[in-house]
Homo-oligomer: A and B are copies of this chain.
Amino acid sequence: MNRIVIYILLFSFSKPSFAQPQLSLMPWPEEVVFGRGQMRLTGDFTVSVSQNATDKLCRYATRILRRIDGRSGMFFKQETVANDRVNPNAALLIQTTRPGLTQLGEDESYHLRIENNQIFISAETEIGAMRALETVVQLLRVDSRGFYFPELTINDQPRFPWRGLLIDVGRHFMPINVIKRNLDGMAAVKMNVLHLHLSEDQGFRIESKIYPKLHELGSNGEYFTQEEIKEIIRYADDRGIRVMPEFDMPAHASSWLVGYPELASAPGPYEIETGFGVKDPVMDPTSPVTYVFLDQFIGEMAALFPDPYFHIGGDENNGVQWNASQSIQKFMRENSIANNHELQSYFNEKILSFLQKYRKKMVGWDEIYQPGISKDIVIQSWRGKDALFESAFNGYKTFLSNGYYIDLAHPAINHYLNDPLPEDHPLPDDKVGNILGGEATMWSELITKETIDSRIWPRTAAIAERLWSPGYIRDEREMYRRLDDISIDLEELGLMHLRNQDVLLRRIANGQQIHALKELIGLLEPVKGYERHNRGVSLTTHSPLTRLPDAAVPDSKPARDFRFLVEDYLQSGEENLRQEIFNQLMFWKEIHKKLEPITVRAPLAEDALKYSRDIESLCAIGVQAVSVNMLHSQRWKDEVSMLLDAVNREKRECEIMIVGAIEALVKVAK
């Protein structure tokens, strides 16, 4: 099959030459060739593994069977997919060549064919088969006759081998069930690395049997037991997902020092941090005590986590304690260590030797790079693509996180267009392979187990697609169309990203009706970047993350849909679009009046009035802008521009997301 033909097929969803179904696959496969027929779904649907039916693959297939049954309500007769009976006539037949291992670079490719009322999956490994099974679930379609699978052929494989999600359980702990449901979400979009950020200034989140004061004194009682870690690893492995631990050192380490102040570069005592940002406490890289401790500790953790990659953090050491320590300064002079970066390199080399002893490969943030360090290390780039390419150019394996910071509340499209290896990348061919992929990072300053899913999903599915699918798949509207569908699919895995918004709103409304609040929150997003920390409230680990900016979600669909509507109108000038904009604005204009009554009995909802009042004004301006009977004088334009600017300048914890679209309407108003 010729690549160009496939490309045309890929982008012909909207205007098919024959009755080609609109698919909501995400990530989009490398090759899709559409057929003409359909395979109707019935209660007789069965699944069988015809070759190499491992327990793991059978369990996966059973879950897929139940999910399809749950969506369709078909009452499948088959209970489980078992490895003791092969049914060659099964509706879904799976064959693999070997089990495969949950490890970096394992073959995840698959071939999937639907024809003659049979779905046929073939894959080198069971992990490839798992990826194919997720595609099958996404392929389930509906028409007026019911559920069906479209006839087609898919050949698929990932573009990058490292497609990760970092969850920071340090700043706000996330219990095992949060981790598990997110592992299910990752599997659904074919991600394959869970990066657990296990230690932070704000908490040490794993049980250590040899240094128990780490978790006992370094957490508020919230940490994973080793049994739980084993269960997380087993659960992830069952889904072909690696689990990489991170223990941030030498900085971001306050929580270690509460129980073991002897590791620190300054005398204690230390406390668990409750504020955020870069803190001073840092391990003492000149003390043998530190290395005895870390050798033992790394040994314990290396045995617990089977993955060969072991993340040591290494970021954001501000050097304050090192600069202030006479003994450290003396050590540096005596050992000709010129600066803190070199001192940290000295520390890293020690750590690297421990890791090598335990047969682990060192992973760290950009800061761990130094000339001459072993080529065996892997660098996670938070600084950006220049750093990424430099590492790759210097012969280091590396993966990208800059641009995938999902905690910063940017829209999915920003992450989606952030390609670790864009067409114009500067790397020579023999270095391209050093770019392993990327990782979305869910830092947890401002999230709780109640809100975390709404910060990860659905946007992370767009990152998953960037890391799996060919680079030329990058249409914004098409991505969002599929993202909205996938978002609802993800709910069946127990993810809370959609359902929990109402919970927060009901609490904010003090149990009253939430219709108006829900209309409002659709037009708001939490402010982007790190701006929430500068909006008049002091946010700590124990702040109530139960307020309006917590209920608001990044990349809110109503505001985004309105933006698209305005874009379409400005391009086409079509009257029906103008009318749609008009109606929408007239509807949103009323939110304020509807909200006022409930705020009397709901102090937390009072905040909403500031936004709804502005939205009332914005909508009035928008209505005027699209009004055909009104002459839009320069004076009117100047006046409303001032108003729009004023709204933009408001220092609040949420942004009103329709300002840009209104501005665009004003700009072209005649």
Q: A residues engaging B (CB < 8 A)?
A: 59, 66, 69-76, 79-80, 142-144, 146-147, 175-177, 220-221, 225, 227, 274, 449-450, 484-485, 488, 491-492, 494, 496, 498-500, 502-503, 506-507, 510-511, 537-538, 540-547, 600-604
Contact = CB atoms under 8 A, between A and B. Distances in A.
A4 B59 CA distance: 63
- When all copies of this chain in the complex are counted, the total is 2
Given A74-B544, A142-B603, 4 more contacts: A76-B544, A227-B227, A484-B511, A499-B500
A544 to B, nearest CB: 5
Contacts of A492: 503, 507
Q: Closest 7 CB pairs between A and B? A: A177-B177, A499-B499, A70-B546, A488-B511, A69-B544, A70-B544, A73-B547
A177 B176 CA distance: 9
A410 B543 CA distance: 41
A contact patch SS = loop
A101 B146 CA distance: 58
12 contacts: A69-B542, A70-B546, A74-B544, A75-B538, A75-B544, A146-B603, A177-B177, A449-B494, A484-B511, A488-B506, A498-B503, A499-B500
Contacts of A500: 499
Contact of A502 (B227, B502, B600): B502
Nearest to A495: B503
A506 B498 contact: yes
A451 to B, nearest CB: 11
Q: Which has the most chain B C-beta neighbours within 10 Å: A142, A450, A540, A542? A: A542
Given A73-B547, A542-B79, A547-B73, A602 B142 contact: yes
A193 B170 CA distance: 34
A511 B557 CA distance: 14
Contact of A72 (B66, B74, B542, B544): B544
Contact of A604 (B72, B80, B542): B72
A247 to B, nearest CB: 24
A597 to B, nearest CB: 12
A605 to B, nearest CB: 10
A549 to B, nearest CB: 11
A485 B79 CA distance: 41
A164 B602 CA distance: 34
Contacts of A601: 142-144
B75 A537 contact: yes
Contacts of A600: 144
Contacts of A544: 66, 69-70, 72-76
A537 B73 CA distance: 11
A521 to B, nearest CB: 15
Given A537-B75, A547-B73, A542 B66 contact: yes
B507 A71 contact: yes
A195 B543 CA distance: 36
Contacts of A225: 227
Contacts of A546: 70-71, 73
Nearest to A227: B227
Given A147-B603, A220-B80, A537-B75, A70 B142 contact: no
Contacts of A80: 220, 542
Contacts of A511: 484-485, 488
Contacts of A485: 511
A57 to B, nearest CB: 14
Contacts of A545: 70
Contacts of A146: 603
